[in-house]
Amino acid sequence: MAAFVIADTKIENAEAYEDYKKKARAIAESYGGRYRARGGELEVIDSELWSPTRLVIIEFPDLESARAFARSPEYAPVAKVRHANAKSTVVIVDGI
């Protein structure tokens, strides 16, 4: 069953964030991740709980693969680049 990493990101340093995007994509793909959305046009229908900024959706083959990516030793230093150059909320959700 597929699982998804969903990130809402407010980029604060676009130039430095480009390095993050390249490295994160390669690592996600090495864990079977496939980008389904990456900061495309966004239309908010309801926003009672949350108002997204820039959404990224990565599909993984299963929950274990998504968790392995997010917690991997390869991704840890790359995540620090994200934290230094953007504010974000990231979740993993099990698919159906």
- Mean pLDDT of all residues in 7-21: 96
* Domain range summary for the chain, segments of one domain joined by +: 3-94
Class of domain 3-94: alpha beta
**Buried/exposed 15-26: b ≥16 CB within 10 Å, e otherwise:** eebeebbebbbe
pLDDT at 25 over 90: yes
Which position has the higher pLDDT, 4 or 96?
A: 4
Q: Coil, helix or strand for 85? A: helix
pLDDT band at 96 (very low <50, low <70, confident <90, very high): confident
pLDDT of residue 88: 97
Alpha-helical (H) ranges within 31-90 are 63-70, 75-85
Residue with tokens 């009672």: 48
> How buried is 77 (Cβ within 10 angstroms: 0-12 exposed, 13-18 middle, 19+ buried)?
exposed
Share of the chain above pLDDT 90, in %: 99
pLDDT tens, 34-80? 999 999 999 999 999 999 999 999 999 999 999 999 999 999 999 99
